[in-house]
Amino acid sequence: MNLFSGALEFLTTASSWSGEDGIPARVGEHLLYTLVAVLIASAIAVPIGFAIGHIGRGRALAVGAAGAARALPTLGILLLIGLGVGIGITAPMISFVILAIPSILAGAYSGFEAVDRATIDSARAVGMSEWQIVTKVELPLGLPLLIGGIRAASLQVVATATLASVVGAGGLGTYIFRGLRSNNYALMLAGSLLVVIIAIVLEIVFSLLQRVVVPAGVRAQRPPDTRERSIRSRPVTATPLQEGTQ
């Protein structure tokens, strides 16, 4: 109980909300790292995913590459790159981009692959160019799955961005690793709670966004079943076999 009260005391103390080491500054760094990493990963993965989904080739290679990237240990990559480039945000950012690419890539090509081929054939039949098919048919219909991939990538980066403090890049990991070094577990819990809150907020935002981007025609519900149900003239008191013998 003292652990939670200590974390709550840190989160509610006025001094914790001011200065370069204050909660707003650390949260801002954490969100900035997440945003930049996801944007860079999207710029790399989305065009590749769209191309794979549109032409229907290279999926096996993309799946293999994405699986291999997911298997890489983020902390190991961060430390390895950090040995080469030194302390700063460069090493964490490269690590976060590598972490985010697989989910965004999967969402991009899955979104295009999920579009009914008959819809695409119909678009070609009415004279649409390939670019028009991509932008006016495949992209709107595949956008929810793409948003889902970006959503997964963002949550992964938010959780992993705490490692940025290992190489002195700040973020909410500063509280966690500072508490670890000084055996201040209340500070560690406070930093962890802030990360969890950010993850929950992002989850809600992306969930709403995923619903909003669904085209109106897809959101339309199917008409209710108006078929008349058969009405028996009398209650069934016996099995069909027994009724037939009566």
Distances (CA, A) of 18 to 8, 15, 92, 114, 143: 16, 6, 25, 48, 40
Q: What is the distance between the alpha carbons of residues 200 and 204, in angstroms, rounded to a whole number? A: 6
Q: What is the distance between the alpha carbons of residues 48 and 62, in angstroms, rounded to a whole number? A: 9
Contact 100, 153 (CB under 8 A): yes
Residue 23 pLDDT greater than 70, yes or no: yes
Residue 62 pLDDT greater than 70, yes or no: yes
Amino acid at 237: T
Residue 102 pLDDT greater than 50, yes or no: yes
Higher pLDDT among residues 116 and 236, named by residue: 116
Residue 234 pLDDT greater than 60, yes or no: no
- Kindly indicate the confidence band of residue 216, based on its pLDDT and cuts at 50, 70 and 90: low
pLDDT recorded at residue 232:
46
In total, how many domains does the chain have? 1
pLDDT recorded at residue 25:
92
pLDDT recorded at residue 205:
93
243 located within any domain:
no
Most confident of the following: 5-19, 49-63, 231-245: 5-19
25 located within any domain:
yes
Q: What is the pLDDT of residues 162-208, one digit of tens each?
A: 888 887 778 898 999 998 888 889 999 999 999 999 999 999 999 99
141 located within any domain:
yes
1 located within any domain:
no
Mean pLDDT of all residues in 54-78: 77
- Kindly indicate the confidence band of residue 233, based on its pLDDT and cuts at 50, 70 and 90: very low
Residue 222 pLDDT greater than 50, yes or no: no
Residue 223 pLDDT greater than 70, yes or no: no
224 located within any domain:
no
- Kindly indicate the confidence band of residue 217, based on its pLDDT and cuts at 50, 70 and 90: low
What are the residues whose beta carbons fall under 8 Å from the beta carbon of 50, sequence distance 6 or more? 108, 109, 112, 134, 138, 139
Higher pLDDT among residues 85 and 120, named by residue: 120
pLDDT recorded at residue 163:
87
Contact 36, 44 (CB under 8 A): no
Alpha-carbon torsion (113, 116, 117, 120), positive or negative: negative
pLDDT recorded at residue 218:
62
- Kindly indicate the confidence band of residue 220, based on its pLDDT and cuts at 50, 70 and 90: low
29 located within any domain:
yes
83 located within any domain:
yes
Q: What is the distance between the alpha carbons of residues 74 and 206, in angstroms, rounded to a whole number? A: 24
Residue 210 pLDDT greater than 50, yes or no: yes
Residue 110 CB coordination number (10 Å): 18
- Write the DSSP assignment of the chain as a string of letters: -HHHHHHHHHHH-GGGGSSTTSHHHHHHHHHHHHHHHHHHHHHHHHHHHHHHHHH--SHHHHHHHHHHHHHS-HHHHHHHHHHHH-SSSHHHHHHHHHHHHHHHHHHHHHHHHTS-HHHHHHHHHTT--HHHHIIIIIHHHHHHHHHHHHHHHHHHHHHHGGGGGGGT--STHHHHHHHHHTT-HHHHHHHHHHHHHHHHHHHHHHHHHHHHTS-HHHHSPPPP--PPPP--SS---S-HHHHHT-
CATH number for the domain that contains residue 81:
1.10.3720.10
Q: Residue 173: give the domain boundaries.
A: 17-216
Q: What is the pLDDT of residues 104-163, one digit of tens each?
A: 998 888 888 888 888 888 888 888 888 888 888 888 888 888 999 999 999 999 999 888
226 located within any domain:
no
- Write the DSSP assignment of 73-115 as a string of letters: -HHHHHHHHHHHH-SSSHHHHHHHHHHHHHHHHHHHHHHHHTS
Mean pLDDT of all residues in 57-79: 77
